[in-house]
């Protein structure tokens, strides 16, 4: 690609959106490309996809400092930050935020393509550096000219784990087969005396990346959202 644009990692990193990967849309597998194609209104203007995630505690600190008081403060802060990033650092480029939004996008599949994501028994992606303490925050298509990001090559930390503490620590015995029995997990979390209402004891027990573990407030926020969702199942 001619006239490659420099990617301003510092702006996003400072906000806590500290993982970014760039893909050319034409290079994505067809099943992935089909889910992220831009709206018709944009025509063929967009030819790159930018995947943005957070890892560790910085994003939550930034969200709290922003003073955003809404039902989904992390999503709202993320969208505000992405818009500011384009307005201040990429004003010449057009873009469309696909996620957060109404589309169903395979975030974990994109994470696999970036080399960020390995499956863990407790159904949260895991990385050898950050453990499970990261999450996908934005998917953007744009008419940018960034150099595509090379895929990170790494093995899953679960492959060399002999202790399997996550399996032993699950109070619902939902990981006994080495993968999540979702119904057991849901049934346990719904119980009045559940110890996993606003956390996941299996996830917390995992030693990988434990120094990046979310603070209790962020854990309560995230797991309260999922608990409200499963209470209607």
pLDDT of 49 above 90: yes
Six token digits for residue 171: 């109070």
Q: Which residues contact 2 (CB under 8 A, 6 or more apart)?
A: 145
The 10 Å CB-count burial string (b at 16+, else e) for 188-211 is: bbeeeeeebbbbbebbbbbebbee
pLDDT tens, position by position, 77-117: 999 999 999 999 999 999 999 999 888 899 999 999 999 98
Rg (CA), the chain: 19
Q: How confident is the model at residue 122 (pLDDT cuts 50, 70, 90)?
A: very high
At residue 41, the pLDDT reads 58
Select from 114, 134, 110, 138 the least CA-distant residue to 124.
134
Is the predicted pLDDT of residue 1 greater than 80, yes or no? no
Tokens 């895991």 sit on residue: 126
Sheet order of strands, 19-24 included = 19-24, 48-55, 134-142, 95-99
| Alpha helices per DSSP H over 37-145 | 58-66, 73-89, 107-114
d(CA 42, CA 40): 5
């Amino acid at each position: 690609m001619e006239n490659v644009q420099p990617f301003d990692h510092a702006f996003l990193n400072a906000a806590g959106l500290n993982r970014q990967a760039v893909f050319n849309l034409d290079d994505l597998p067809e099943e992935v490309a089909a889910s992220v194609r831009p709206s018709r209104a944009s025509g063929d203007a967009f030819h790159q996809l930018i995947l943005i995630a957070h890892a560790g505690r910085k994003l939550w600190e930034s969200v709290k400092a922003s003073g955003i008081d809404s039902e989904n403060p992390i999503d709202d802060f993320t969208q505000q930050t992405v818009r500011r990033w384009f307005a201040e650092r990429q004003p010449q480029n057009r873009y469309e935020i696909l996620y957060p939004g109404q589309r169903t996008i395979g975030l974990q599949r994109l994470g696999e393509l970036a080399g960020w994501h390995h499956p863990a028994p407790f159904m949260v992606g895991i990385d050898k550096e950050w453990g499970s303490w990261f999450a996908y925050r934005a998917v953007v298509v744009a008419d940018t000219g960034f150099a595509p990001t090379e895929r990170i090559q790494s093995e899953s930390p679960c492959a060399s784990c002999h202790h399997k503490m996550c399996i032993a620590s699950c109070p619902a015995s939902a990981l006994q087969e080495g993968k999540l029995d979702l119904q057991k997990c849901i049934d346990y979390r719904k119980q009045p005396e559940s110890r996993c209402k606003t956390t996941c004891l299996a996830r917390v027990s995992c030693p990988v990346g434990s120094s990046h573990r979310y603070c209790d407030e962020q854990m309560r926020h995230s797991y309260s959202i999922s608990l409200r969702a499963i209470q209607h199942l």
